[in-house]
Amino acid sequence: MDYTETSTHTTSTSGSSYSASAPLRNVQFDPSNAGVIEEQQQKIKHLQEQLAEFNRVRYRTLPANASGGKNVVRTSKKKILTGTDQINQQAVASYLREAIWPSNKILPTKWSKWREDRNSLCQMILRKVAIPVGVDGKSYWESMILGFTNEKFCALRANFKQELFEQFQGKFSRINICIAAYSNNQYLFALYLYVEDKEVGWNPPSDNDGRIYANFRRWTTDLQDTPPTYDQAEHFLRFLDKYVSRAVGNHYFLQWSKSNRSKTFLDKVTVSDISYTMLVYENSKEVWEEELQIRANSKSEDERKKATRKQKPKYHEGRGKRLQRFGDGWTDIGRQYYQELLGIFRNLKSSDVWKTLQDHWKMYQREHYNKSDSSKDEDLRRPEEECEQSDEEDWRITVEDEEQCDDNEVSLSDDDGEPQSKRQRISL
């Protein structure tokens, strides 16, 4: 007798479709064992039903703060995460970093709400995870995945700001150290150490309102008789190299370069990368300058911590403000300005000016890194903490190359598993 029944295992956002049986085909067995097989199948079905009921109760009764801020989520990891949850956490982190972050640095204000629309963030993410047996998508999103998403995006934003600050403070860092060695008052040798940033003294030019590259932005709106020269574009290219590259990430750019060897950094960078970098820089510049001045004048760490700080972020709620749950702190003016920047650089990337910049980028690489046209860009930077309002439509997410992201398996080579270097953070 042939046994041809095959196994099936389907998971949907409702969590209701699940069936399983022995994954066997054309197996010969003694008819006298039919009763034993039937008994085992009933036991399996009973265990599946018990597991489904356990999961329904478990995710319904998780602590109310299980999807809270990053500190709550991290504290809860060892207590409430199952093996499936941990795998899903890695899948969410990878998908956010590789598919969502490149084109969505600021999430819509209503992103955390559950929606059935496939273009909502919750549905995009749930298509990348395995929902536990017996649990509906809404319950799993609200009890678990929402917290993973918030934690990862907070980490992406915080680490990006820190990367920009480290680049910014480089222009203030030049330390000359001389270590001399003597023996019996006899001079033996001296060791000179020069610790300095290679871009000391360089920072993006700004107008009276603190907006950087104001003249450059007009290239997309004013009719240009001639394309910008290399000398005119070099300063902006350096900004892309030193600041915007932090939004792309060295690991992800090099990974992309392996299959795009004829392309350059300007083919990889997104309008969101450029716009968000400008927003964060203009928002934080005065705060950073004050912080660096305090550090320079403080004689001890305790004195630095107690120093009075007067400067405030330009487009962000700033230090000491309690943010709304799952909010990012950007003011309405900051969000509007970000959208304005997106429009400007979207036009730029679709114009002939961008093609000219791509040619200038090759010259920039030769002059600053001694690279030929055939060389790939390799001088980018390193990897990635807490972060509902009105406007009912402010929840949609757009993803560049979404079909490619959906069709290909998401790599789990995320930097979450790598130890973070101990870096001192400042309020931005």
Q: What DSSP string runs through 28-64?
A: ---GGGHHHHHHHHHHHHHHHHHHHHHHHHHHHSS-T
Chain centroid to CA 212: 24
Token code pair at residue 97: 């970093």
Confidence class for position 50, pLDDT limits 50, 70, 90: low
Confidence class for position 385, pLDDT limits 50, 70, 90: very low
CA distances from 421 to 237, 291, 321, 426 (A): 28, 21, 27, 15
**Predicted pLDDT at 43:** 73
Taking alpha carbons only, the member of 281, 222, 263, 261 closest to residue 361 is 263
Task: Name the one residue in this structure whose structure tokens are 């079905």.
Answer: 45
Phi and psi torsions of 226, nearest 5°: -130, 150
Percent of the chain with pLDDT strictly greater than 90:
35
Residue 4 has pLDDT above 70, yes or no: no
In this structure, are residues 158 and 81 in contact, taking their beta carbons and an 8 Å threshold?
A: no
Residue 191 has pLDDT above 70, yes or no: no
Question: Which residue type does 354 have?
Answer: W
Spell 331-363 as b/e; 16+ CB within 10 A means b. Answer: eeebbebbeebbebbbbbbebebeebbeebbbe
Q: What is the pLDDT of residues 87-98, one digit of tens each?
A: 999 999 999 999
Residue 316 has pLDDT above 50, yes or no: yes
Three-state DSSP state, 111? coil
**Predicted pLDDT at 23:** 58
Residue 333 has pLDDT above 90, yes or no: yes
Give the residue with greater pLDDT, 19 vs 306. 306
**Predicted pLDDT at 21:** 53
Residue 8 has pLDDT above 80, yes or no: no
**Predicted pLDDT at 291:** 92
Mean pLDDT of the chain: 74
**Predicted pLDDT at 27:** 64
**Interatomic CA distance for residues 40 and 43, integer angstroms:** 5
CA distances from 315 to 42, 45, 321, 390, 428 (A): 61, 56, 13, 19, 10
**Interatomic CA distance for residues 49 and 356, integer angstroms:** 63
Between the ranges 20-29, 107-116, 318-327, where is the mean pLDDT highest? 107-116
Q: What is the pLDDT of residues 153-168, one digit of tens each?
A: 999 999 999 999 988 8
Residue 6 has pLDDT above 60, yes or no: no
Confidence class for position 1, pLDDT limits 50, 70, 90: very low
**Predicted pLDDT at 184:** 56
In this structure, are residues 128 and 414 in contact, taking their beta carbons and an 8 Å threshold?
A: no
Q: What is the pLDDT of residues 232-287, one digit of tens each?
A: 999 999 999 999 999 999 888 988 988 998 899 999 999 999 999 999 999 999 99
Token code pair at residue 2: 């042939």
In this structure, are residues 313 and 428 in contact, taking their beta carbons and an 8 Å threshold?
A: yes
**Predicted pLDDT at 38:** 76
**Predicted pLDDT at 217:** 78
**Predicted pLDDT at 186:** 55
Confidence class for position 188, pLDDT limits 50, 70, 90: very low
In this structure, are residues 247 and 167 in contact, taking their beta carbons and an 8 Å threshold?
A: no
Listed in order, strand segments (DSSP E) in 142-236 are 174-183, 186-196
Q: Is 259 exposed, middle or buried (0-12, 13-18, 19+ CB in 10 A)?
A: exposed
In this structure, are residues 227 and 348 in contact, taking their beta carbons and an 8 Å threshold?
A: no
**Interatomic CA distance for residues 385 and 381, integer angstroms:** 19
Residue 33 has pLDDT above 80, yes or no: no
